[in-house]
Amino acid sequence: MSPLTFEQSRLTTFSLVVLASFAIAVALHFTQLVMVPFVLAILLANLLGPGVDFLIERLRFPRALAVFVAILVALGILTLLGLLMSVSARGMVTSAPIYQARLEAAFADWRSFLDRMNFDMGQATLHDAVQQLPLSQWAGNAAGKVLGLVTSGLLVLVFLIFILTGRRTSAERVGLYGEMDSKIRRYIVTKILTSATTGILVTLILLAFGLQLAVVFGILAFFLNFIPNLGSVIATLLPLPVALIQYESLWPVIGVVAIPGAVQLTIGNGVEPVLMGRGLELHPLVILLGLLFWGLLWGVAGMFLAAPLTAILRLVLERFDTTRPVAELMAGKMPLVLTASSSVQTGTWNRQ
């Protein structure tokens, strides 16, 4: 049997990588109830790790005591996030019937106006459809998913205890692990700071306009800012239906969308890149594709985790010659290719 040519070998390797990636994706989808808390625990341990190292190395705390202090901090963070998410969920559920009634009243006025003008746009059918909109059910389903994320906090804490207990000190983190640790921690800290600033500013702006559910929309802006690109757009447009129902004039409606949108744009494209430096080195298109991929696998939780998980994947792919061109593409750079003169003989990489 003749040996495989270099091209055939590369094609075989690529096919095996594709099949393995598909199998891993299927496994991740069916194990999401465990994997999502596990990944959250890893990211939280990455954030709290320097504090644990400081307590152990500088203050000479026993490891068990240092981990206990970190767990208390993590418990406080998860409790605060849970309270914020619960407030948002309750606000959506309690306000859904009110705004459905207002929507029906506004649509009835629009229908009567068209009827007086003897203009038929099928408004009777549309009116019936509006009356049958299950806003309360939609709000309840959304709240159930939000509270489901909160209930996974206990499993996150269990994973976090074991991760922090077996964590190596900062002096021992080198190579790929050290690079992943520093970049992901910088991303998480920057996102927390910018998201909190965005949420506070959006809340204050909406309160200044007297918009109902202003605090809820500010909390949602905080959480949605963790979803790259798409989250800020959703957070900007979320108050629009409430504003259209609440205000009779057009200017307040424009204000509650335009001013928070300007805040999102300024922080997302001005402040955040300065704080993050080189950041995760991901092309915007790759971030969008990662958002769709992880959202397909793990739903809303996957969308929140899409950016750091995609960045970790890029760092891993960059370490191997076979997958380095993919990592180059993910960073928005021209990939490395094999030149015709060296591909068969040496297989060394050169930039085209």
Asked if the structure places residue 59 within a domain, the reply is: yes
Q: Given this model, what pLDDT does residue 46 score? A: 81
Residue with structure tokens 């600033």? 197
Mean pLDDT, residues 81-108 taken together: 67
Name the 3-class secondary structure at 162: helix
Mean pLDDT, residues 219-231 taken together: 84
Question: CA-to-CA distance for 189 and 193, rounded, in angstroms?
Answer: 6
Residues β-bridged to residue 350: 337
Last residue of a domain, one of 249, 279, 309: 279
- pTM of the predicted structure, to 2 decimals: 0.70
- Same structural domain for residues 147 and 221? no
The torsion defined by the Cα of 238, 240, 246 and 249, in degrees rounded to 10, comes to 160
- Same structural domain for residues 29 and 155? yes
Name the 3-class secondary structure at 46: helix
Q: Given this model, what pLDDT does residue 107 score? A: 66
Element (H, E) at 336: strand 336-337
Nearest to 310 by CA among 339, 286, 285, 334: 286
Residues β-bridged to residue 351: 336
**Residue-wise burial string across 83-106, b where 16 or more C-beta atoms lie within 10 A, e elsewhere:** ebbeebbebbeebbeebbeebeee
Amino acid of residue 184 = I
- Same structural domain for residues 159 and 242? no
- Same structural domain for residues 67 and 190? no
The distance of Cα 297 from the centroid of its chain, to the nearest Å, equals 13
- Least-confidence region, from 75-79, 198-202, 243-247, 335-339: 335-339
Q: Given this model, what pLDDT does residue 205 score? A: 93
CB 317 within 8 A of CB 323: yes
Amino acid of residue 283 = H
Name the 3-class secondary structure at 220: helix
- Same structural domain for residues 155 and 217? no
- Same structural domain for residues 225 and 139? no
Q: What is the mean pLDDT of the chain?
A: 76
- Give residue 169's pLDDT band: very low, low, confident or very high (50, 70, 90): low
- Give residue 198's pLDDT band: very low, low, confident or very high (50, 70, 90): very high
- Give residue 170's pLDDT band: very low, low, confident or very high (50, 70, 90): low
Of residues 336 and 102, more confidence is placed in 102
Q: Given this model, what pLDDT does residue 125 score? A: 57
Backbone region of residue 298 per phi and psi (left: phi > 0; alpha: psi in -120 to 50; beta: other values): alpha
Q: Given this model, what pLDDT does residue 2 score? A: 57
104 has a pLDDT exceeding 70 = no
Mean pLDDT, residues 343-352 taken together: 42
Asked if the structure places residue 262 within a domain, the reply is: yes
Mean pLDDT, residues 301-326 taken together: 84
Number of other CB atoms surrounding residue 2 within 10 Å: 4
Question: CA-to-CA distance for 43 and 186, rounded, in angstroms?
Answer: 11
339 has a pLDDT exceeding 70 = no
Q: Given this model, what pLDDT does residue 131 score? A: 52
Asked if the structure places residue 241 within a domain, the reply is: yes
Asked if the structure places residue 61 within a domain, the reply is: yes
Q: Given this model, what pLDDT does residue 241 score? A: 78
Q: How many domains is the chain built from?
A: 2
What is the span of the domain harbouring residue 207?
Answer: 179-279
- Same structural domain for residues 149 and 204? no
Q: Given this model, what pLDDT does residue 197 score? A: 92
Per-residue tokens: 207: 């309160």
Number of other CB atoms surrounding residue 46 within 10 Å: 21
- Same structural domain for residues 159 and 192? no
- Same structural domain for residues 58 and 163? yes
138 has a pLDDT exceeding 80 = no
- Same structural domain for residues 122 and 233? no
- Same structural domain for residues 193 and 108? no
- Give residue 132's pLDDT band: very low, low, confident or very high (50, 70, 90): low
Mean pLDDT, residues 122-137 taken together: 53
- Same structural domain for residues 139 and 48? yes
CB 13 within 8 A of CB 324: no
14 has a pLDDT exceeding 50 = yes
172 has a pLDDT exceeding 60 = no
Element (H, E) at 100: helix 63-116
